[in-house]
Chains A and B, each alone.
Chain A
Amino acid sequence: MSELRPPTRLKSVALRKAKSAAFTGLLWLTGAIAMVPLVLIIGYVLIKGTPVMSGAFFTQTAPPPGMPGGGMAQAFMGTGLIVGIGTLFSVPLGVLTAVYLSEYGRGRLATVVRFVAEILLSTPSIVAGAFIWAVVVTTMHSFSAIAGSIALTVLMWPIITRATEETLRLVPNDLREAALALGVPRWKMVLRIVIPTAGSGILTAVMLAVARGFGETAPILLTSLGNDFINTNPLQPTDAVPLRIYNYAQSAFTQWQSLAWGGAVSLLAAVLVLSIGARILSDRQQRRLG
């Protein structure tokens, strides 16, 4: 080869390697930084909230201001009611939308539906609350559990749709073709083959959506309002755990504040169990369907 001039300044290989090592160190540092809040939040919630756990916490209702004792029974009941009805609404809607996208959807409509489902995931939850307030609360002239459920449905429907569609797509096409080749009509193939095969994946989607529903505060604030007493009538104002935590945390009474921590333990436990459970299920599902 012809002689070429050397570089004007050679980069030291040692320096380049040191830079790379420093960069790798920096990456690990970001990992550590992100883990700190997680550990601290779970730690503090456990430390401050566990002592509050008692029979009374789950069976008694809100204590009067400044008084000791009391619990969050009405909030647990309310959350169960609101999230329960919300799940009842959003599961069929979400799953059927996903069935459309994965089994029937073609062309422009499917593109639009998929796109809408995707961006609805980013709806600020407070906006879902304001929307349902304007539609449901003003027409019924009352805050109610059902309005809260509907607000949650706005948020849970796209979540279930997106996650379910993904899991339906994992079902091998061979299975579909095998069923159709046997002369099974398409709808039976979907209901008897595709959905059962995707089974635990759909459960995963529902668990993630329910976890989200448990934790939502802002939409419930504008639709269910809250209630100091146990309410089982879906048409009446109803309490919820996150709502109660929100109110108690900002109160001046230490008893209320400690109840807030107790509520946080229960909420965090429920949400983490659902999220980890969903993760385990979906890992297993993916391994099963390869």
Chain B
Amino acid sequence: MSEVSQSPRTEHDAETPVRRRLRIGDSVLSGTTVLISVGLVALLAALLWVLEQGAAPAFMKYGLNFFTSRQWDPVNDRFGALPYIYGTVVTSTLAILSALPISVGLALLLNEVRSRLLRNPLTVLVDLLAAIPSVVYGLWGLFVLAPFLNRYLAPALGATLGKLPILSALFVPTPAVGNMLNAGIILAIMIIPIITAVTREVIATVPHDLREAAMALGATRYEAIRMAVLPHARSGIVGATMLGLGRALGETIAVSMLIGNGLGISASLLAPGYTIPAIIANEFREATSTGMQHSALLALALVLVAIALFLAAASRLLVRRSERMGS
């Protein structure tokens, strides 16, 4: 690349019109691409700035109360986001806890399976899972998954984990159709392909040498993975998880269809909840322009995007570090 780009300049040649036109062509194309690329960076800056401007009044008026108050009352213009923050944290945690083991297993599987005949279709299918629009997840979740979970999983969990001393609080039954457990599970399904794809990429960079070293010592496949593959991929897997978490935090439609959109803060996963993206989606259009409602919603959007971008950035650094270890 570098020697190509430093093509010798022809300063001393005669400036024929053709030559001048050629040079103009070069500056036009490179200038345009630079301008547009700077535009992409400006877009990110503008996004943060606009949201910050919109959020400022709410932050000024409510201060830290905005994050700690449970009162979200548009009629009296009082806004505390705790229920949404709580619901977002609970559903995302649930999603990560369920999706992580499956995703890592899936990534190892895709890496271990030797036969291309099995591996390629499996890879395509995992990619397709990522392509399904979130509203389709929501529709299926609402009519198929949620009734199933409410009927079978919730009672089963209540009868098993619900009998344990501390965990029982998590599985206190409620009559609600939509609840945080269902939302967490649909989220888990949605982020599996993301965590899988990144984990797989990281695992693929683990040098074959190391696996052979383990094998030659008489390690079984499982031991070779534990000795050579997983330690090497660890920071990359953390990065993959962060990317999945970012996606889970920001997921709107499917969650808002399944979580029940209830304002309480309940320890029970079987109770309805509410998330930050869901409240933005549900109230934004109806918000009045006089009070603080828009500002409060934009403040939530700002918090959301700041966390998501931070997670994405951290994830990228971790994954890159993990991949560099492999080379």
A residues apposed to B, CB below 8 Å: 16-17, 19-20, 23-24, 26-31, 33-35, 37-38, 40-41, 44-45, 48, 92-93, 96-97, 99-101, 103-106, 109, 112-113, 115-131, 133-135, 143, 154, 157-158, 161, 173, 176-177, 180, 185-188, 190-191, 211, 214-218, 221-222, 225, 242, 245-246, 249-250, 257, 260-261, 264, 267-268, 271-272, 274-276, 279
Contact = CB atoms under 8 A, between A and B. Distances in A.
Contact of A27 (B28, B105, B193, B246): B105
Given A37-B189, A187-B26, A211 B131 contact: yes
B250 A97 contact: no
B144 A40 contact: yes
Contacts of A128: 47
Given A33-B102, A48-B143, A257-B143, 9 more contacts: A30-B102, A97-B39, A109-B38, A126-B250, A126-B280, A127-B250, A130-B51, A186-B30, A222-B281
Nearest to A246: B135
A121 B50 CA distance: 19
Contacts of B106: 27, 30-31, 34
Contacts, number: 276
> Which 8 A-B pairs give the minimum distances between C-beta atoms?
A124-B250, A215-B133, A30-B105, A100-B33, A20-B220, A122-B312, A20-B222, A187-B29
Contacts of B28: 187
B201 interface: no
B271 interface: no
Contact of A120 (B32, B40, B137, B138): B40
B252 interface: yes
A24 B112 contact: yes
A257 B43 CA distance: 38
B161 interface: no
Contacts of A24: 112, 221-222
B4 interface: yes
B305 to A, nearest CB: 4
Given A127-B305, A187-B29, A118 B136 contact: no
B309 to A, nearest CB: 5
Interface residues of B, number: 90
Interface of B: 1, 4-5, 7, 22-23, 25-26, 28-30, 32-34, 36-41, 43-44, 46-47, 50-51, 53-54, 101-103, 105-106, 108-109, 112, 122, 124-129, 131-140, 142-144, 189, 192-193, 196, 220-223, 225, 243, 246-247, 249-253, 257, 277, 280-281, 284-285, 297-298, 301, 304-305, 308-309, 311-313, 316
B155 to A, nearest CB: 20
A186 B26 contact: yes
A218 B40 contact: no
Contacts of A26: 105
B135 A267 contact: yes
A185 B40 contact: no
A187 B165 CA distance: 70
A124 B281 CA distance: 12
A28 B133 contact: no
A287 to B, nearest CB: 13
B246 A122 contact: yes
12 contacts: A23-B225, A38-B125, A41-B137, A96-B37, A97-B36, A126-B250, A134-B53, A134-B298, A191-B29, A211-B131, A249-B142, A271-B131
Nearest to A124: B250
A127 B51 contact: yes
A278 B29 CA distance: 28
Contacts of B249: 124
B234 to A, nearest CB: 18
Nearest to B196: A34
B305 A28 contact: no
A267 B309 contact: no
B247 A276 contact: no
B133 A112 contact: no
A101 B30 contact: no
Contacts of B223: 16, 20
A198 B249 CA distance: 35
B44 A131 contact: no
Contacts of B308: 122-124, 127
Nearest to A154: B43
Contact of A97 (B37, B247, B251): B37
Contacts of A117: 40
A17 B222 CA distance: 9
Nearest to A183: B22
Contact of A45 (B23, B30, B38, B136): B136
A272 B257 contact: no
